[in-house]
Structure 1
Amino acid sequence: MELTSLALLATSAVVTAAALAGLVLLWRRLRGPFVVVRVGGILLAEILLLASIGLTVNRAGDFYPSWASLLGEATPVRLPTADPVRLPPQLAAQASAGRTNGLVFPWHPAGERDWRLAGSPVAYLPPESFQAGGVAVPAIVVVSTAAPPVDTVIRGLAKAAGEPVALVIVRIGRTTPIPVLATGLSHALPTSLPVLGHGWALIGSGVAALSLWQAGQQRFVALALTPPPDATTVHKAQAAVRTRLWIGPDLLGALRWAGTQTPPPLEPPVALTPISSPSTRSGRS
């Protein structure tokens, strides 16, 4: 029976109440040679009352969930582990090249046709993404109406952001539905590439970039606008984004700033020393 179980607490309360009731009923009879029994009954009632109070406090605070934890004995439990980050087959086949200089490649996510882009997105993964065991790296999404630069330039842009980081360059068109694009990126990026599922940075210009940030706030945490948009868009961005907003003239500056806003890479956790198993309310009886 766990120390925090309701059954133990109820039993303690009933025994305490019975001891107090018995002491009250027999008080007048416990005289003379029986006065020692009276004193013992008082001590027993006090001990039971203190034990009931202690069990109540322990249940509320969950300090000692089991007798083993009270006695200082550790109860081994199996700690949760995470599966290693796995590359899609087409990227795994190029792992040897990726481990050297990173990899730039056309990214064809599921639902890309519904985004109605001006061209397929281009992605860059750093060498850390191709290590054994896998590393989930932060992501920076760059939206633009221009064609993506060549591979060597993209690698240079990634270095400006401070590797390891994944770059995803999205070329939007006049008919690109921003809410659909935001939803698509939110689902496709963390499921098809070894990137973190949160803490993304977004770089772009004008209303489209601000709208994409607003539609994907569950993923994006920072917005860089370059080149600086009109005053109305700037005012709207300042009201919507508040602290994590950068406005400047060049892409390199935006990338350097965005790299400081993203979280660090994450490796799969490892199980360490077993710890005491905590109690759960649902398991009490």
Structure 2
Amino acid sequence: MSKSTKARGQGVAYLFLSPWVIGALLLTIGPMLASLYLSFTDYDLFSTPNWIGLENYRRLIEDDPRFLTAIWVTLKYVALSTPLKLVAALAVAMLLNRASRAQGFYRSAFYAPSLLGASVAVALVWRVIFQDWVADPDRSLLVIVTLAVWQFGAPMVIFLAGLKQIPKELYDASAVDGAGWWRTLWSVTIPMLSPVIFFNLVLETIHAFQAFTGAFVVSGGRGGPSDSTLFYTLYLYQKGFTEYRMGYASAMAWLLVLVIALITALLFRTARKWVFYAGER
């Protein structure tokens, strides 16, 4: 291949990549860098940003009790919704993994709620159905957790694909050894499925920290009653787009980024002890 032909091929490749690169610069990297700068300023969306250094971060940690409340509510939501959603997804995937004439219908039916995603309409319906719970500070968070668990279709499909990859010979060997269903689950299915479990765990943990629509709609945008549904993202929205403290909200956003990065790194660290990959000793 001549140099001119190679250069022409690279030019075509860069041409096709350019929309993605431009989109990433203008819609992701650019706004992120702008918010990083704004996190060190006092900015209300209408006047020129005023540089104040780390003051926004200090106020968050030392002078804002609702910030700590939002952290606690979000951590409870993540701790409840993520494992429950994964358990529900795995259980249904194992049922669907069995051959059945109506298998395609059931897959579509169970996946349908996830297609709706964080729909405002669905959250409104959920709020009406559980209106007595929504008004109770002790149970309002459970409404949003239930809404999240109900939308288990995406991890279910990934689990189902992973189950299809487990060699049938392992189950046959387990049956010959006299292992029951529970023993087979823990000795064959879970170890062989551990990379998929880890993948879903990371994704769903990140998504749980970013949850917003359900909390906003169910609580009417206030995080009530008694701040029982004051998610971190909802409090960030209130500071940025209700009180117009965009510099403060930007500082909150970057703290969230750091927390998600640390937790993701921790998950990768612990994965060495329980995630099994075929071919490893």
The structure where helix makes up a greater share of residues is: 2
Q: Which has the higher contact order (CA 8 A, sep 6+)?
A: 2
TM-score category of the 2 structures, normalised to the smaller one: under 0.3
Give the TM-score, by structure 2 length.
Answer: 0.23
Q: Which has the higher strand share?
A: 1
Rg bigger for which structure?
Answer: 1
